[in-house]
Amino acid sequence: MLRVREGDAASFALLLERHRAPVIRFLYRMVQNQAVAEELAQEAFLRVYRARARYEPTARFTTWLFRIATHLALNSLRDRRSGKHHESLDEEAGETPSRQLADRGRPSSRSCSTGPGWTKCAARLPRCRTSNAPPC
């Protein structure tokens, strides 16, 4: 790590090669998701690289690396529990999403009829052909 701190890119590649798999396994045991573990490992190594100039060898490099990984995993778990996690866009076709979001591109009829300025909103809605037709 001292050579990485001095700017040796080859040394960082060696650190990455040596510690990537153990960090991913460690993170997987915490988050129980391979893709999330790999993403967190990538973030851990990115943080190591960004903080390379501030690295002080008061403890072993692996202690520092795994402390960073631990904090990232705990943050990820906390965010997932509180609903801040990202939902997958790769859901199976036919599965219903667990949550649906309103289309912000066009106001809903409900917000038009009850919100302030509803006449302006209603004027933007498409015109129905007959008065007995369902709402547009």
Per-residue model confidence as pLDDT tens digits over 92-101: 544 555 555 5
In this prediction, residue 15 carries a pLDDT of 93
- By three-state DSSP, how is residue 61 classified? helix
How much is the pTM?
0.58
Lowest mean pLDDT among 1-5, 15-19, 73-77, 92-96: 92-96
Give the mean pLDDT of the chain. 78
Task: Please state, in angstroms and rounded to a whole number, the distance separating the CA atoms of residues 21 and 31.
Answer: 15
| Residues ≥6 apart with Cβ < 8 Å to 53 | 5
Q: Which tens digit of pLDDT belongs to each residue from 62-119?
A: 999 999 999 999 999 999 888 765 555 555 544 555 555 555 555 554 544 455 555 5
- The one-character DSSP state at 8 is -
Task: Please state, in angstroms and rounded to a whole number, the distance separating the CA atoms of residues 34 and 77.
Answer: 14
| Phi and psi at residue 96, to the nearest 5° | -85, 140
Q: 2-81: what fold?
A: Rna Polymerase Sigma Factor; Chain: A (1.10.1740)
In this prediction, residue 13 carries a pLDDT of 92
